Amino acid sequence: MTDLPVLRLRPKSKPQAIRHGFPWVFADEAVLDRRSRGLLPGSFAVLEDAERKPLGLVTVNPESKIVARVMDADSDALIDGTWLQAKLARAFAMRDRLYDQPFYRLVHAEADGLPGLVIDRFGDAAVIQPNAAWADRMALQIADALVQVTGVSTVILNGQGRARGLEGLDERMEVLRGQAPSAPLPVPMNGATYLADLMGGQKTGLFYDQRPNQAFAQRLAKDATVLDVFSHVGGFGLAALAAGATSATCVDGSAAALELAKGGAERMGAADRLQTIQSDAFKAMEQLAAEGRRFDVVVCDPPAFAPSKPALEAGLRAYERVAKMAAPLVAPGGYLGLCSCSHAADLTAFRNVSARGIGRGGRRSVLIHTGQAGPDHPMLPQLAETGYLKALFFRLD
């Protein structure tokens, strides 16, 4: 038997949710006495129900609203290098089956049995985001296991973002293994070439989650004019150019991101078909409308306007505003893609505000496609947060 400390659920908590796969214990569901509050963030404990029956092995963080995350259903499990390698090997095997080239999300946190840990692979390099205290503490062991399982030579820790703040973790950027790339790395995806800045870009340097939605947009983009709003490094715009769009216009507030988009277009031999606008997206859409500009395909992929339940109402209003402003920019019979990466806004709510915004923008529409993240971003059915991405494509009259 393990000699780990015990964290116990309150009598009114529902242990069956844990038994059925729900991976989190919130602070108001656990008995937090002086002993449990004194546990080191990222340490391990045995989770028990109110009747003292073990439910599994958890990692504990008394400083987080998510006080415990399930690591293993076996309360006697040992979380070490061997355990990490087994988890990574399982995740790697699926991606290796799905993708011809080593560019994908390798670990999608709870859905891959590694709570709070995100790993994106870029060929011979990998970027880890340890957004839970246990992963931050074991970052070097994770890096070693990653090298053993995948053979990558460079492992970068990107410890930035809102999730780390919620865990009480400081921001940090560190090269754990190998050397930092001296230049942005080319990433092939959907026939396009993207440039990923692993040390200075957003998140891990590139968003892999939109891959299937960009592939769908490509089917609309041949011989079309395309507007990519909130483009980052050219996600939808470069995909459209690879599919034969006559032109793509990328709008983003980041000059650095747009330079990477230009670099990707140059590598594709499509620099002459790419235009960029560095601006606040709402101001840019307003200006384009004032100029009477119209595009065959418009895609808007904004940041998470509703990252939490308290932000939901304001976030839904923002998504409706995006749809209202984007709709007039679509040529008659053209297509509008609207995306949300806010897990707090479910598909129904996002679809409703998108349709309402299109109507308020003076257009009628039919929904032709609903997309989600690719299979390298698996969804844990018990945890809605892992299925955060939604993409809606409309045809406008």
Catalytic residues: 341
Q: Which residues contact 19 (CB under 8 A, 6 or more apart)?
A: 55
Handedness of CA 244, 245, 249, 251 (dihedral sign): negative
Measured distance CA(103)–CA(154) in Å, rounded: 14
For the CA atoms of the chain, what is the radius of gyration? 22
> Do the Cβ atoms of 342 and 315 come closer than 8 Å?
yes
One-letter amino acid identity for 360? R
Query: What is the residue whose two structure tokens read 């985001």?
Result: 129
Token pair of 92 as six digits? 């790697």
> Do the Cβ atoms of 259 and 234 come closer than 8 Å?
no
Measured distance CA(297)–CA(226) in Å, rounded: 5
Q: Which residues contact 78 (CB under 8 A, 6 or more apart)?
A: none
Nearest Cα residue to 318 out of 338, 334, 333, 336: 338
